[in-house]
Amino acid sequence: MQAEDLEGLPLTAVAFVQDYLQLQFDGPVLTLYAWPEAFRDEGSYAYGEPEYRNVLCELIGNDVEAATLVEDEALEIRFVNGSSLRVSLREEERTGPEAGSLVSGEPGDEMLVF
């Protein structure tokens, strides 16, 4: 599974789990242990700021226009409505050994861990 495999898929659910986030697409599930920053035309939103959860949930139903993973740098997902999510993959900004994972939901497919 590659980040680019998300392109063209709709975001179907946003799950806030105790200390991580799951973004569910039409099949794949992206688990993030680092909170992504959300960007819209009017500005950016970070975890803990007012409206952060609303901004993420408003992405439900939007298709992914582009998804880019630059190892040890960042994962960025851009949606067709112009919004985007960006999570840092820099070691010094992580709270654990990995920033997240991506699974396809298909039996036997490899998990992408970053």
Q: Which of 97, 95, 77 is nearest to 87 (CA)?
A: 77
Does the pLDDT value for residue 92 go beyond 90?
A: no
Residue position matching structure tokens 């920053």: 37
Q: What is the mean pLDDT of residues 40-66?
A: 96
Please report the pLDDT score of residue 69 as a whole number.
95
Q: How much is the mean pLDDT over the chain?
A: 93
Q: Which domain holds residue 56?
A: 3-98
The pLDDT > 70 percentage for the chain reads 100
- Tell me the one-letter amino acid at 18: Q
pTM for the model stands at 0.92
Residue-wise burial string across 9-36, b where 16 or more C-beta atoms lie within 10 A, e elsewhere: ebbeeeeeeeeebebbbeebbbbbbbbb
H-run or E-run covering 64: strand 64-70
Does residue 107 belong to any structural domain of this protein?
no
Does any domain span residue 42? yes
Number of domains the chain contains: 1
* 108, part of any domain: no
